[in-house]
Chain A
Amino acid sequence: MLDLYGVEITSRLFLGTARYPSPKILADAVRTSRTEIVTVSLRRETAGGKAGGSFLDLIAALGVRILPNTAGCHSVREAVTTAQMAREIFQTNWVKLEVIGHHDTLQPDVFALVEAARILSEDGFEVFPYTTDDLVVAERLVEAGCKVLMPWCAPIGSAMGPVNLPALRAMRAHFAEIPLIVDAGLGRPSHAAAVMELGYEAVLLNTAVANASDPVTMAGAFADAIEAGRAGFKAGLLEPRDMAVSSTPVIGKAVFS
């Protein structure tokens, strides 16, 4: 079981709800992924519009927990206000805090992120910060009140997978007691398995599933890979070594000459 702010979660896959070919494919992918947590966002509603209500109904019917994000926010104030508005709509203290600092890489503005995390934590929010793999920033986020960390492993939507495994490994070693969730940059099920083998608690996916040729099948493939990676970690992985080690015992081997 994974404990996130006192909530026990079985599935180690979080799924984003954006960029699917259709609402039906989104709903089917959520089911196939076996996820218990989906991310959602807020956008301007058109006058007389019902888009937001229809989407909310679709998500409610899936019976999953909602993690609202502050995607697209570029300042502390924008992120804080968006989080407060999301809390009113979704009736949850959870927020996936994003404060974007760079247009091309969608890299978080970690300075604003820490400040927003502090303000929101003091206001009763349970913050899931989208951050980098920087240990010092992660320390500051924990000091600000975050009890979960969500480092990227590559830029959002890049599908590059874990480009800096040593950094992710260092983060795992340094924050043994904090749930770590890889939040961005995964492209393939094997990427997800790789970070789970490091001992990460979960991964958050969106583009890799939503933009696959067959998102529903891909959701299941990731779910299996994540479970396999987690089981591998729990079972105790062998460390690589330079020389061969015979797997067949040599005791009792016949001598023919």
Chain B
Amino acid sequence: MRNIIVNGEKRAVEATTLDALLSLLDYKGSWIATAVNGEIVRRAERNAYALADGDRVEILSPMQGG
């Protein structure tokens, strides 16, 4: 188990990669973008991106803006 902070919420998860974390938490859309510890992790890099204890993951999607 790893302790990961996902969009500001602490979670204990089995996932070892960012891709696995997204599947586990049911993030499916092609419209999301991800960052870990403040740096972007592009779609193509998620599969190989190994998560570490304490990582801060941000999962963003489009919304209304001015």
Contact = CB atoms under 8 A, between A and B. Distances in A.
Interface string A14-33: 00111110000010000000
A206 B62 contact: no
A8 interface: no
Contact of A39 (B7, B25, B65): B65
Interface stretch (A44-52, A190-198, A232-240, A242-250): A44-52
A40 B61 contact: no
A26 B58 CA distance: 28
Contact residue range for chain A?
35 or more
A52 B65 contact: no
Interface string B24-66: 0111111111110011101100000000000000111111111
Contact residue range for chain B?
20 to 34
A253 B38 CA distance: 79
Contacts of A47: 6, 25-27
B29 A53 contact: yes
A42 B60 contact: yes
A42, A50, A68 — which one has the most chain B CB atoms within 10 A of its CB? A42
Contacts of B43: 88
Nearest to B39: A81
Interface of B: 6-8, 25-35, 38-40, 42-43, 58-66
